[in-house]
Amino acid sequence: MNAMDRGIVGCAAGAALLAVTGCNALDGLADVPAIAVFDGGRDATSPPHHDGGIEGGADHKAHDAMPTKDASPDVAHDASACGEGGAQCGSSCVDLQSSSAHCGACGHNCNGAVCTAGACGVYAVVTGNDVGKAVLLATDGTRVVWVDDGFQAIEQVPAAGGTETTLVPPSATNGTVSSELALANGTVAFAYGGATPQLGLAAADVGDSGVPYYPGGVAIDSVSLDPNAGEVFFVNVEGTQGSLMKCPINSTHGITGGTCSSLTGGGRFLDQTAADSTYLFYSFQSGGASPSGLFLDVFNGDGGGQISSLRTNSLAVGGGYAYWTQAEDGGTTYSVQRLLETTGASGSQLTAAQHLSTEVFTTDGTTVFYGNATGLVSRPAAGGTVTTIAAGVTPAAIAVGGGLLVWTDSTGSTISGLVLP
């Protein structure tokens, strides 16, 4: 199954296959819980930094429209005009330490959440009966999309919460949607799980826009999109094995007939895909009961290099690196790994072996987000102090994009959000 948000002792890997022989862990990366409000180590008065998610999509920050004659509302004027502790955003004086609409900087909107010391707090995106059971999430900062196993459909809601839209309802012809989901550039990729599995595409914000485009064998698995939604990647499971497929997407969020192609051919156990604008990462093995290696491949061929020979889960890409969780101790614990994707340079182990959910892991290229024994936490992608975002929470799904982090609780019945610094 794919995680766009699934997201390294990573190692040298280039254009040719290169087996991993081992690397050194980063020093000083022991989990040290920090504050519950996520501030990314940013000075509260500095402008926010927004990073695109692993599924792509433009950065988005909602903010109040305020009339002004001489400046954008996103520009702080001379604070002295507003008195001590105040800042002028557009024509209004605000407190950047506590304003939900201007938290830490003019225009940095917390989507209605409380702003404390210039950092946004956690808020509820969707709660209660509005969610059956969210098993996969995606966001681009403007909207939140999820596979609802309870309603057996794909649902969408504005990033700040509000009225839900059913993008893809259950189909009498194609069956219910399966647990595959990707979002990029206004396109939603998914899979129908009927008697004849189908790869489907939908247009974000358009209810009942799901259309089947590619009939699969036993199942359609590990769906991902490149950031511009120019291509969709997936595993077409045939029998007990499958092929890694690529299909170009046209301007109407569809696939032109006969344009899909196989990148790997059949006869492999494939699992996990993650793509950016340059590389496609996937894990597979040529035999055995389950995938047990991470292999690097470019979009147009089956070359690449083997990065890890251990069981790999939760692939993610961002900021020029590939990330994954790697089984340790025979699969009883997992560590988070990363690799510099453009050069195949030696990777780094970001966390010590610990009990991590193999599904709950993602990155925006700057920060890594995952669940551990203390709850939902974050860590700088280059290594550093662990920050607890939601203590005591066991996230069932997690996604990041457009400066917004979203996750579900262990029941999948509540979707929470946090606007990042």
Is residue 103 domain-shared with residue 251, that is, in the same domain? no
Nearest Cα to 79, choosing from 105, 113, 107, 109?
105
Running DSSP on this structure, what letter comes out for residue 268? B
pLDDT of amino acid 17: 28
Q: Are 140 and 57 in contact (CB under 8 A)?
A: yes
| Cα(17)–Cα(294) distance, integer angstroms | 11
Is residue 90 domain-shared with residue 218, that is, in the same domain? no
Residue at 291 is within a domain: yes
Whether the pLDDT of residue 220 is over 70: the answer is yes
Joined together, the tokens standing for residue 140 give 């681009």
Is residue 198 domain-shared with residue 144, that is, in the same domain? yes
**Bridge partners of residue 215, in order along the sequence:** 198
Q: Are 45 and 117 in contact (CB under 8 A)?
A: no
Whether the pLDDT of residue 160 is over 60: the answer is yes
Is residue 86 domain-shared with residue 186, that is, in the same domain? no
Whether the pLDDT of residue 65 is over 70: the answer is no
Question: CA triplet 364, 248, 232: central angle to 5 degrees?
Answer: 40
Inter-CA distances, 217 with 171, 193, 195, 236, 342, Å: 18, 11, 9, 6, 34
pLDDT of amino acid 185: 95
| Cα(352)–Cα(361) distance, integer angstroms | 15
Whether the pLDDT of residue 278 is over 80: the answer is no
Q: 284-309, pLDDT tens digit by residue? A: 765 555 555 666 665 544 455 666 66
Cα Rg, the chain, nearest whole Å? 21
Whether the pLDDT of residue 357 is over 60: the answer is no
Q: What's the pTM value of the predicted model, to 2 decimals?
A: 0.76
Is residue 269 domain-shared with residue 230, that is, in the same domain? yes
Local confidence band at 180 (pLDDT 50, 70, 90 cut-offs): very high
Q: Are 137 and 179 in contact (CB under 8 A)?
A: no
- Residues of the chain above pLDDT 90, percent: 35
Other C-beta atoms lying within 10 Å of the C-beta of residue 26: 15
The gap between the terminal CA atoms of the chain, to the nearest Å, is 30
Residue at 16 is within a domain: no
pLDDT of amino acid 342: 58
Is residue 202 domain-shared with residue 149, that is, in the same domain? yes
Q: Are strands 241-248 and 261-262 parallel, antiparallel or unpaired?
A: antiparallel
Torsion of CA 18, 19, 20, 21, to 10 degrees: -110
SS3 at position 188: strand
What's the domain count of the chain?
Answer: 2
Residue at 98 is within a domain: yes
Local confidence band at 282 (pLDDT 50, 70, 90 cut-offs): confident
Q: 70-102, pLDDT tens digit by residue? A: 444 555 545 567 887 789 999 999 999 999 999
Is residue 248 domain-shared with residue 208, that is, in the same domain? yes
> CATH no. for residue 250?
2.130.10.10
Joined together, the tokens standing for residue 163 give 């009225």
| Cα(36)–Cα(263) distance, integer angstroms | 44
pLDDT of amino acid 119: 97
Among the ranges given (163-177, 209-223, 277-291, 357-371), the one the predictor scored with the smallest mean pLDDT:
277-291
Is residue 155 domain-shared with residue 213, that is, in the same domain? yes
Question: CA triplet 103, 104, 107: central angle to 5 degrees?
Answer: 55
Is residue 248 domain-shared with residue 368, that is, in the same domain? yes
Nearest Cα to 110, choosing from 59, 157, 63?
63
Residue at 327 is within a domain: yes
Joined together, the tokens standing for residue 394 give 């066991």
| Cα(417)–Cα(398) distance, integer angstroms | 10
The domain containing residue 205 runs over which residues?
A: 123-419
Residue at 92 is within a domain: yes
| Cα(268)–Cα(148) distance, integer angstroms | 30
Q: 372-406, pLDDT tens digit by residue? A: 878 899 988 887 888 999 999 888 899 999 999 99
Is residue 97 domain-shared with residue 132, that is, in the same domain? no
Other C-beta atoms lying within 10 Å of the C-beta of residue 289: 8
Is residue 265 domain-shared with residue 175, that is, in the same domain? yes
Q: Are 337 and 10 in contact (CB under 8 A)?
A: yes
Whether the pLDDT of residue 346 is over 60: the answer is no
Average model confidence (pLDDT) across the chain: 75
| Cα(131)–Cα(309) distance, integer angstroms | 38
pLDDT of amino acid 170: 87
Q: Is 58 exposed, middle or buried (0-12, 13-18, 19+ CB in 10 A)?
A: middle
pLDDT of amino acid 40: 46
Instruction: Give strand ranges (E) for 193-331.
Output: 198-203, 211-215, 219-225, 231-238, 241-248, 261-262, 269-275, 279-285, 294-298, 306-308, 312-318, 321-328
Q: Are strands 119-120 and 404-408 parallel, antiparallel or unpaired?
A: unpaired
Is residue 162 domain-shared with residue 244, that is, in the same domain? yes
Residue at 379 is within a domain: yes
Residue at 261 is within a domain: yes
Among the ranges given (109-113, 114-118, 275-279), the one the predictor scored with the smallest mean pLDDT:
275-279
Residue at 275 is within a domain: yes
Other C-beta atoms lying within 10 Å of the C-beta of residue 215: 13
Mean pLDDT within 239-247? 84
Instruction: Give strand ranges (E) for 3-86.
Output: 76-77
